[in-house]
Amino acid sequence: MNHLLLADDDPVLCSMLKRYLDSEGFHVDTVHDGKLALQKALTQDYDLLALDISMPGMNGFDVLRSLRTYKHTPVLILTARGESHDSLLGFELGADDYLAKPCDPRVLEAHIRAVLRRSAPHDSDKGEGRLVSVGDLTLDCVTRGVLVNGRSVTLTKTEYNILSLLVSKAGQVFVRDVLSELALGRPLGRYDRSLDVHISNLRRKLGPLPDGRERITSIREVGYRYLKP
């Protein structure tokens, strides 16, 4: 049974969502204050945190920023409908997905399950000591660790999933819609920039290739490619 933390300043909404998610087989804790959300997220092992941006005590962005210093618990941020800049900032801080409120509980459940699926170890991750290297980049498929020229790089689970897919076809173009389905667990909406933000974060964290080129290049209106050195 997956253990979730739902942090939202609306007790009525929390209660309704908790009842629904509990009935679908989840174990859900709820909090209505940002500081308490961070405390519980740091001291307990949750499978996922559903985090509202607007909370008293500490806003969701500050909770996420502090959490990412210590833990990589998958985070689904909840934003006010139409506040697209909230979702983009959330991705930059290390969120795995976002959902606009108000939302149908069934849609929330679908997003939660998608994040949990891509956060779970894959069969290919179970082989002992399996390393994948392209140039100065090395992925450890057991620990999901990443090294660039011997330097450890910390990625979110979603960022790692995107990178491992791109590296698996290094030199080839990965179509955006396919990459989104496999890495994010959902198709991209018309104005959905979540994949682009994750790619931007990967470029920033990994840095350029030794010759100065971008590791991940954009192919206009098609997708992305991890360059072979």
CATH of the domain at 74: 3.40.50.2300
Residue 212 structural domain:
123-226
Of 83-92, 99-108, 142-151, 208-217, minimum mean pLDDT range: 83-92
Residues 53 and 145 in one domain: no
Asked which of 89, 119, 149 is the last residue of a domain, the reply is 119
Q: What is the pLDDT of residue 214?
A: 94
What are phi and psi for residue 91, nearest 5 degrees? -65, -40
Residue 222: pLDDT over 80: yes
Alpha-carbon distance values, 118 to 47, 54, 83, 159, 162 (Å): 12, 27, 25, 10, 10
7 and 88 co-located in one domain: yes
- Co-location of 112 and 8 in the same domain: yes
Position 125 pLDDT exceeds 50: no
Percent of the chain at pLDDT above 90?
A: 46
Confidence of residue 119 (pLDDT cuts 50, 70, 90): confident
Helix 194-206, helix 176-183: angle, nearest 10: 80
